[in-house]
Structure 1
Amino acid sequence: MSIELAQCFIAVDDHDKALAFYRDVLGFEVRNDVGFEGMRWVTVGSPEQPGVEIVLEPPLADPHACEDDRRAAAELLAKGLLRGVIFRTDDCDATFERIRAAGAEVLQEPMDQPYGVRDCAFRDPAGNMLRFNQPRGK
């Protein structure tokens, strides 16, 4: 029996801004961009990982949620408190420079961590924290 990651979710408040970042800055492929139950179903993924998709979803992707819950989720997203994602890269410093040059908000410049990686961190256009790490010695 094997179990593999197929999809993970990142909350976004503007699909077009998110696509511009994940597609144009990070170089991800757009795998789906369709309407679904009154919402927009957008998935992106790294060309190096064809079996893994990131779903770019509204902060509260529940068509039956009340307005108070939607507002609370949007406030958490705006503060950067909903989700974080860690990506692996083969060159942390080059990745940092490319993302910084695109204007992303820098949270941490590249540094060696005591747990064996060199990493950096940014916020995506919706405020999510994204870390990019490179195993040391590679």
Structure 2
Amino acid sequence: MSMKISTIQVWVHDQDAALEFWTKKVGFQVTADVTVAELGNFRWLTVGPAGQPDVSLSLMAVPGQPVMDEQTRDQVLEVVGKGFANTVFLTTDDVDGDYARMTALGVEFVEKPEDRPYGRDCGFRDPSGNHIRLSQLNPDFAG
């Protein structure tokens, strides 16, 4: 089978704020930024790590009508803001260095790097509230 993961969607409150965060603070690159007039000016915005051109995050604005009624939209925004909509898992070969670099750029970590059974790990949230884990995995961890 040749199926692969290409894009993962995360809900964001503000695509421009998310774009700035993911590119300027996390260090990802823009992989697509297209506005589709035929779909009511729908903006397809994706970012990804420089070393993985075939994998990206879609920074998806939470839609209103006709996709979601206002009550559902408000509920999604609330759940995202609390950090419970999803978690993005990132790996690095220098968690302490990335923690220091990103902290200096204003990223607010909810957990400092700590040793875990699978490696060294910390957590932060994006401007919308999405939870992100940053891990430096032990070489023998198969996860």
Q: Name the structure 2 match of 1:30.
A: 30
Task: Letter of the 1:47 partner, please give it.
Answer: A
Q: Does 1:98 align with 2:110?
A: no
Q: Name the structure 2 match of 1:120.
A: 122
Q: Name the structure 2 match of 1:72.
A: 75
Q: Name the structure 1 match of 2:113.
A: 110
Distance 2:85 2:109 in 1: 18
Q: TM-score, normalised by structure 2?
A: 0.88
Greater alpha carbon shift after TM alignment, 34-43 vs 91-100: 34-43
Give the CA deviation at 1:64.
Answer: 2.3
Task: Letter of the 2:124 partner, please give it.
Answer: F
- The secondary structure found in structure 2 opposite 1:48 is coil
Task: Letter of the 1:130 partner, please give it.
Answer: I
Task: Letter of the 1:104 partner, please give it.
Answer: V
- The secondary structure found in structure 2 opposite 1:20 is helix
Q: Does 1:136 align with 2:131?
A: no
Give the CA deviation at 1:136.
Answer: 2.5
Contact 1:109 1:121 in 2 (8 A): yes
Task: Letter of the 1:42 partner, please give it.
Answer: L
Q: TM-score, normalised by structure 1?
A: 0.91
- The secondary structure found in structure 1 opposite 2:96 is helix
Q: Name the structure 2 match of 1:21.
A: 21
Alignment size in residue pairs: 137
Q: Label 1:117 to 1:59 Cα distance change in 2 as closer, same or farther (>3 A).
A: farther
Q: Does 1:89 align with 2:92?
A: yes
Q: Unaligned regions of 5+ residues in structure 1, if any?
A: none
Give the CA deviation at 1:88.
Answer: 0.6
Give the CA deviation at 1:85.
Answer: 0.5
Distance 2:75 2:21 in 1: 25
Give the CA deviation at 1:68.
Answer: 0.9
Contact 1:23 1:29 in 2 (8 A): yes
Q: Unaligned regions of 5+ residues in structure 2, if any?
A: none
Could you report, residue by residue, the CA deviation over 1:42-98 in whole angstroms, capped at 9, with x for unpaired residues?
001111001111100023587421111111111111211111101010100001111
Q: Label 1:51 to 1:132 Cα distance change in 2 as closer, same or farther (>3 A).
A: same
Contact 2:25 2:107 in 1 (8 A): no
Structure 1 vs Structure 2 CA RMSD: 1.8
